[in-house]
Structure 1
Amino acid sequence: MQLEQHAKLSVAPMMDWTDRHCRYLHRQLSRHALLYTEMVTAAALVRGGAVHLLDHDPAEHPVALQLGGSDPVELAKAARLGAAAGYDEINLNCGCPSDRVQSGTFGAVLMRQPGLVADCVAAMRDAVDVDVTIKCRIGVDDQDPENVLPEFLARIVAAGCERVTIHARKAWLQGLSPKENRDIPPLDYDLVMRMKGLFPNLHISINGGVATLDQAVELLDGGLDGVMIGRAAYHQPADILISADRRVFGSAGPDTSADTAVQAMLPYIEAHLSAGGRLHQVTRHMLGLFAGRPGARTWRRMLSEGATAPGAGPALVEAALAEVLPLAPARKAV
């Protein structure tokens, strides 16, 4: 399957959430969905030498590295490091509205500088053979998205970008917190749909406010090339991912399940602990696996309270799973 086909459904890059342990878990639920790293700054890799931030398990593929930055030369060097580490795609963040990102002149503030973004895309494409993509907003602050978004897309397409993910909200760089920027600016799915009409050869994924797999399928059926899901995929990963391979990617099945995902995580957890890691570093991403099922509260409580205890290991996870399994069969996918 080509990477652009995997991009029909992706899990968004989310700071402090989509680390390598989270991605390994999500891969147990879907073989085909495209996974993204947390944003890694180009400066951390190139100037800081923090190449450990590129660590990932081969099982995570297909997996994309998201970079933050605005210096074409530095981004090219960082992209080269990411490609050498084995990532399938390099994605440039043009959507994050945090103050820290703005002060570094990257993230959503780059929506004001489409020429610079195009230079960054061209430099990265020259540096690596893997796909170079963009994640952006529809605009920032008082910009008119109807005008600025087509110009932005035209510039990056001319620079060689063939795939883009559009968070269908403005970002307000002053006056709203990053959390508020994920909820308060209104969604404009119709604008993103119109961009597909203007740029028929550009692979466009939509992001923002997608809470269910049904909604993702509806957007795909409406003509978009891909859907990226963030918070719902993190908080209710089984609801989003266990039937995605069948419903989105056309696999014959059978669907995966939260139960089998937990079993698959046990050897991974054992290896992580043997390497000096702590149980809660993995299980914090597993708390929502049984959302909506009887026993989910007990599952969350046992892992939340027990995973930080000295010596906590796979036995705790198995005990928590035993509290869920007898209570109800796995929810059937539709």
Structure 2
Amino acid sequence: MSPKDGHHSHRFCVAPMIDWTDRYCRWVHRLLSAKARLYTEMVVDEAILHGDRDRLLGFDSAEHPVALQIGGSDPRKLAEVAAIGAQAGYDEINLNVGCPSDRVQSGRFGACLMAEPETVAEGVRAMAAAVPCEVTVKCRIGIDDQSPEEALPRFLDAVEAAGVRTVIVHARKAWLEGLSPKENRTIPPLDYDLVVREAQRRPALSFILNGGLAGGAAAERWLTTFPGVMLGRAAYEQPFLLSEVDQRLFGAPPAARSRLEIVEAVADRAAAEAVPIWRYARHMLGLYHGQPGAKTWRRQLSEEGRSAKACPAWLVDVAETVSAKAEAPDRAPVA
């Protein structure tokens, strides 16, 4: 199966990750790739309706294309928060049907909704009617004792009938009992073949593959099968991998920045915003992954990044020291 024409907007995505992909993380990622589609961390519908919307939904125009991921199950509330997100300027509204945390389960949203495909269908139908932008779904292949061969087709049938045209599939089950959210990201086995079969059965539905993809080479291989891929932990833990995305996957000029230039841009940004440098630095712990001095960089940021001495100039000083140790060219390795 060849990639579908006209679906390049999801060709490469950085996954929504709770406590990770906040506005500061996304700004760092955008410095590294102009083409990657970025996602917010999941925001619960009730939080948007009753909380600080500027804090929850604020983003920089440089982040486009950027999607808002929401959690919830009530169609009326989902439609309302989707409209709020679209008005805020997000390019896509994504419904989370994959998060396995206890907090998500108690609120009846996230991965537990894999057992309620009609509830999801009602929600996305209401959302789509309320917004001009695309509504998408991110799901697992099943939960707990479900058979993925039965659960995933049933779920996909429901959301496609509701008008969903793009679905992001994390190719693992989620175990709501017995595994922590962290364990759920690695322990359940991947089943790419099932996702491939379901994509072949549904030529009108665009499948974005997520789960276990380690870098540019893996992304490139799967783009011969799917119109898009989504990286999560690899993109976060080794962010400089993103610097190869534009050229390798889009045929576009790369963001011609070294690691040190990225740090300098972040320092300038933090100084202009007058925010603690840690808000950015915590998302850059893996910036020097695989380079000489990587341990020094991570250690200094971890131990001193929230101290009184931590400021934009301090961050640049640390980066200059570490960059001076690098023996290899300061470019992302070709995976």
If the TM-score is normalised by the length of the shorter chain, which range does it land in? Answer: over 0.9
Pick aligned residue for 1:97 from 89, 96, 100: 100
How much has 1:324 moved relative to structure 2? 2.1
- Kindly provide the amino acid, as one letter, of the partner of residue 229 in structure 1: L
Which deviates more from structure 2 when the two are superposed, residues 259-268 or residues 32-41? Answer: 259-268
Residues of 1 paired with 2:49 and 2:173: CA distance?
30
- Say if 1:30 and 1:245, in contact at 8 Å, map to a contact too: yes
Structure 2 counterpart of 1:191: 194
Which residue identity lines up with residue 237 of structure 2 in the other structure?
Answer: H
Partner of 1:79: 82
Residue 295 of structure 1 corresponds to 293
Q: Deviations over 1:35-92 (max 9, x none)?
A: 0101000111113454520011111111100000000000010011111111111000
Of 35, 40, 49, which residue of structure 2 is paired with 1:37?
40
**Cα displacement (A) at 1:253:** 3.6
Amino acid aligned to 1:75: L
1:264 match: 265
How far off is 1:300 after superposition? 1.8
Please tell me the root mean square deviation across aligned C-alpha atoms, in Å. Answer: 1.7
Q: TM-score, normalised by structure 2?
A: 0.94
Cα deviation for residue 252 of structure 1 reads 3.7
Cα distance in 2 for partners of 1:100, 1:332 equals 37
Relative to structure 1, is the Cα distance of residues 51 and 113 closer, same or farther in structure 2, using a 3 angstrom cutoff?
farther
CA distance in 1, matches of 2:286, 2:332: 17
Rounded to whole Å, the distance in 2 between the matches of 1:110 and 1:53 is 23
1:172/1:24 CA distance change after superposition, 3 Å = same
For residue 270 of structure 2, what is the amino acid of its counterpart? I
Q: Which runs of 5+ in 2 are unaligned?
A: none
| Cα distance in structure 2, aligned partners of 1:50 and 1:255 | 34
Q: Equivalent residue for 1:202? A: 205
CA gap 1:291/1:108 in 2 versus in 1, 3 angstroms: same
Shift of 1:3: 9.2
| Match in the other structure for 1:233 | 235
Q: Does the CA-based 8 Å contact 1:13-1:38 persist in structure 2?
A: yes
Matches within 5 A, 1:12-31: 12-31=15-34
Q: Does the aligned pair in 2 maintain the 1:29–1:242 contact within 8 Å? A: yes
What whole-Å deviation, never above 9, does each CA across 1:118-177 have from its counterpart, x for those lacking one?
111110000000110000000111111112211211211111111110000011111111
1:272 positional shift:
2.8
What's the CA shift for 1:255?
4.9
Please report how far the alpha carbon of residue 332 of structure 1 lies from its aligned counterpart in structure 2 after TM superposition.
Answer: 5.3
- The residue aligned with 1:308 is 306
Percent same amino acid among aligned pairs?
A: 53
Letter in 1 for 2:271: E
Tell me the alpha carbon deviations over residues 301-323 of structure 1, each in whole angstroms, 9 at most, x when there is no partner.
22223221225311111101111
- Residues 258-313 of structure 1, C-alpha deviations (whole Å, 9 max, x = no match): 2322222122111232xxx2111111111111101012122222222322122531
Partner of 2:244: 243
Paired residues for 1:126-275 under 5 Å: 126-221=129-224, 223-239=225-241, 241-253=242-254, 255-273=256-274
What amino acid maps onto 2:131 in structure 1?
V
Size of the aligned set, in residue pairs, is 328
Structure 1: how far apart are the matches of 2:280 and 2:104?
Answer: 27
Q: Is the 8 A contact 2:190 2:212 kept in 1?
A: yes
Which secondary structure does the structure 2 equivalent of 1:18 belong to?
Answer: coil
> Per the alignment, in what secondary structure is the counterpart of residue 194 of structure 1?
helix
Match of 1:294, SS state, is coil
Partner-residue secondary structure (3-state), 1:316: helix
Counterpart contact for 2:33–2:246, Cα < 8 Å: yes
Asked if structure 1 preserves the Cα contact closer than 8 Å seen for 2:42 and 2:71, the reply is yes
CA contact (8 A) 1:109 1:173 kept: yes
Deviations 1:210-240 (A, max 9, x none): 112111111112x11111111111110102x
Moved over 3 A (4+): 47-51, 252-257, 331-334
Structure 1 residues 254 and 122, CA gap change in structure 2 (3 angstroms): closer
Match of 1:330 in 2: 330
Q: Give me the whole-angstrom Cα distance separating, in 2, the residues matched to 1:130 and 1:314.
A: 37
TM-score (norm 1): 0.94
Q: Measure, in 2, the Cα distance between the counterparts of 1:104 and 1:257.
A: 43
